Amino acid sequence: MSTVFIALQTNEDTRPIIDAILADNPHARLNEQPAMVKIDAERTLTVRRSSIESLLGRDFDLQELHINLISLSGNIDETDDELTLSWNA
Amino acid sequence: MDMQATKKKLGLKERYQVMTRGLDWTPSYQKMEDIYPYVAYEGIKIHDWDKWEDPFRLTMDAYWKYQAEKERKLYAIIDAYAQNNGHLSVTDARYINTVKLFLTGVSPLEYMAHRGFAHAGRQFPGAGPRVACLMQSLDEIRHAQTQIHALSNYNKHYNGLHEFRHMHDRVWYLSVPKSFFDDAVTAGPFEFMVAIGFSFEYVLTNLLFVPFVSGAAYNGDMSTMTFGFSAQSDEARHMTLGLEVIKFILEQDPANLPIVQRWIDKWTWRGYRVLTLVAMMMDYMLPKRTMSWKEAWEVYFEENGGALFKDLARYGITMPKCAETIALEKDHLSHQAWGTFYNYGAAAAFHTWVPEKDEMDWLAAKYPESFDKYYRPRLEYWREQAAKGNRFYNKTLPMLCQTCQIPMLFTEPGDPTKICYREVDYKDNKYHFCSDHCKEIFEHEPEKYIQSWLPVHQIYQGNCFPEGTDPTGEGFDPLAAVLQYYHLEFGRDNLDFEGSEDQKNFDTWRGMATKNV
């Protein structure tokens, strides 16, 4: 099974984002490293705008992710509401 | 961050359409082949440029907004770090040698990437890839600038950073990263995109920017952490572009597959050879270590790259052949590289040293198959010799590989006791290679690689001395002349860390920062 991942800086901006990703993807694993986290997940991982907004308490544009994003892997599909990473094989 | 998410009149997909293809037009009085002269000669067939889709669907207006936010954060941190004498909070002054290598070896490549993407982007008839290349070109010049700004603070206090650009074009080990990028930008636009956009950005930069930069944070270097992660936030987009390029080319025509596969094989190997420097930085130059080179390779290439190549199998793409050789080298790469720099420490613009005992124990734990057997005895011997006043400096010049330009320091796949040599006769000359893969790359494009500017050959030809030097004069010292040509000050910028000015200054200043003197 192939793993996708998203890596984010650890700071106050990303805390609700990381929490939202982990809540929405129960199969994901949190891998904490100095100054960053790497979230690994089998096959697919979804980042949901609505989940982040409810933790953040304000409107959130998914493209704000770019500011604190470190790296990712997988094929990406992004809409206004969701960013999905996935491998086909 | 107090960022406003504005309500958009158009959805992401519509906005992307309007802001990319919506801005394009069809020329009426010039022929397409005159406007895009380089698009056909590599043999890549594209039938419909509109099939290109940027998965992030980032448009220029959003690009400026988020990049500006990244810059504000970055410069606030860099200023605070400088104002607070943050350089004194790094683990120890040996660490600073990694930023010397970074500034002289990597930052000039960012600038070349800026030029490369501006050039390649200009050559593509499709508006989607042109916009993506424009953004990446701007990202890359931002990386060069932010790295130079962030590291200029170290230049105020430490040696070896003062002439990074001059050195990049001349110093022997810097010809490795330099020639890598020169090789890529002198290829056609499609090969450049596969070389940098895919093999380098997608497959390899994770190894440079993620574990190494996390390691910088771990060693107290907030400025490298912040420019590194700020750059890497763009890399996420670059990797996506790199993957998109491959999928787009392969979907356009089945005849593109063998061309692309050969480029992937070539550039994975070329990029991996450049990462030799990173392997050494991670295993030997970070006083506090986060992850070994081998572990990083396993996570980011074997696991992540493996998943990627499995995904691309539907197009007929296979894992590059060189992956097998790389797997055999991963227990040896960083040790062989550091051993070489220790040897040539008189001709390098940074300091080298023998690791402390606890560091050797860490290496032994991370490399149980190789470190104690092959590399610890050598390091311990060098330490004994140095203690007796015989610090070993190699005064002869090494043979270089014609393709990757690295000294012939690598061993035979599967036999770490025997140096790997390959050679090819071409037009009355003999050319030397570090590996089967570098040899194959040469054999496919000999007319390109016979032009390599090999630092050792250039020194022997007398091209690397200051103007007016007379090599036939009484008492001529070739090493001294070469160092002058490099703008490298003997006894200050080079030699062992032990006894260096950096070491003394750091200890004095750190003492002043914690005591009343």
Domain count, chain B: 1
Contact B307 A87 (CB under 8 A): yes
Q: In the predicted model, is pLDDT for residue B420 greater than 70?
A: yes
Residue that is written with structure tokens 């990244």 in the block: B70
d(CA B12, CA A59): 16
Q: In this complex, which of B290, B304, B313 lies closest to A89 when CB atoms are compared?
A: B313
Contact B243 A59 (CB under 8 A): no
Per-residue pLDDT band for B233 (boundaries 50, 70, 90) equals confident
Q: Which domain holds residue B482?
A: 32-466+476-509
Q: With contacts defined as CB-CB under 8 Å, which chain B residues touch A59?
A: 4-5, 7
Average pLDDT over residues B107-123: 95
Could you tell me if residue B10 is inside a domain? Answer: no
Average pLDDT over residues B387-409: 95
Q: In the predicted model, is pLDDT for residue B271 greater than 70?
A: yes
Whole-number pLDDT of residue B511: 86
Domain count, chain A: 1
Top pLDDT among B53 and B74 is at: B74
Average pLDDT over residues B275-294: 94
- Structure confidence by residue, pLDDT tens digits, B359-388: 999 999 999 999 999 999 999 999 999 999
Could you tell me if residue B225 is inside a domain? Answer: yes
Top pLDDT among A84 and B210 is at: A84
Contact B240 A69 (CB under 8 A): no
**Which of B291, B297, B296, B367 has the alpha carbon at shortest distance from B327?**
B297
- Structure confidence by residue, pLDDT tens digits, B177-193: 999 999 999 999 999 99
Mean of per-residue pLDDT scores for chain B: 93
Between CA A17 and CA A23, with CA A22 as vertex, the angle to 5 degrees is 95
Whole-number pLDDT of residue A10: 92
Could you tell me if residue B19 is inside a domain? Answer: no
Per-residue pLDDT band for B204 (boundaries 50, 70, 90) equals confident
Contact B216, B225 (CB under 8 A): yes
Whole-number pLDDT of residue B253: 97
Could you tell me if residue B15 is inside a domain? Answer: no
Tell me which residues of chain B, numbers 220 to 249, contact chain A at a CB-CB cutoff of 8 Å. Answer: 225, 229, 232-233, 235-237, 239-240, 243
Q: With contacts defined as CB-CB under 8 Å, which chain B residues touch A80?
A: 8, 11-12
Contact A48, A60 (CB under 8 A): no
Q: Which domain holds residue A42?
A: 3-86
Q: In this complex, which of A33, A60, A78 lies closest to B12 when CB atoms are compared?
A: A78
Whole-number pLDDT of residue B202: 79
Q: In the predicted model, is pLDDT for residue B427 greater than 70?
A: yes
Top pLDDT among B50 and B253 is at: B253
For residue A4, what is the enclosing H or E element?
Answer: strand A3-9
**Interface of chain A toward chain B, CB-CB under 8 angstroms:** 2-5, 7, 9, 13, 33-36, 38, 58-61, 63-64, 66-80, 87-89
Q: In the predicted model, is pLDDT for residue B1 greater than 60?
A: no
Per-residue pLDDT band for A1 (boundaries 50, 70, 90) equals confident
Per-residue pLDDT band for B212 (boundaries 50, 70, 90) equals confident
- Structure confidence by residue, pLDDT tens digits, A18-63: 999 999 999 999 999 888 999 999 999 999 999 999 999 999 999 9
Q: In this complex, which of A3, A5, A33 lies closest to B214 when CB atoms are compared?
A: A33
Percent of chain B at pLDDT above 70?
Answer: 98
- Structure confidence by residue, pLDDT tens digits, B243-266: 899 999 999 999 999 999 999 999
DSSP B451-506: T---HHHHHHTT-SS-TT--TTSTT--HHHHHHHHHT--TTTTSSBSTT-HHHHHH
Contact A2 B311 (CB under 8 A): yes
Per-residue pLDDT band for B296 (boundaries 50, 70, 90) equals very high
Tell me which residues of chain B, numbers 59 to 78, contact chain A at a CB-CB cutoff of 8 Å. Answer: 62, 66, 69-70, 73
d(CA B411, CA B408): 8
Structure pTM?
0.93
d(CA A60, CA A16): 11
* A–B CB contacts, 8 A cutoff, strictly below: 114
Question: CATH no. for residue B434?
Answer: 1.10.620.20
- Interface mutation vs chain B, best among A71, A75, A79, A87, most B CBs within 10 Å: A71
Top pLDDT among B33 and B210 is at: B33
**Which residue in chain A has the smallest CA separation from B247?**
A75
Could you tell me if residue B18 is inside a domain? Answer: no
Strand order in the sheet with A3-9: A29-33, A36-42, A3-9, A69-73
Could you tell me if residue B12 is inside a domain? Answer: no
Question: CATH no. for residue A33?
Answer: 3.90.56.10
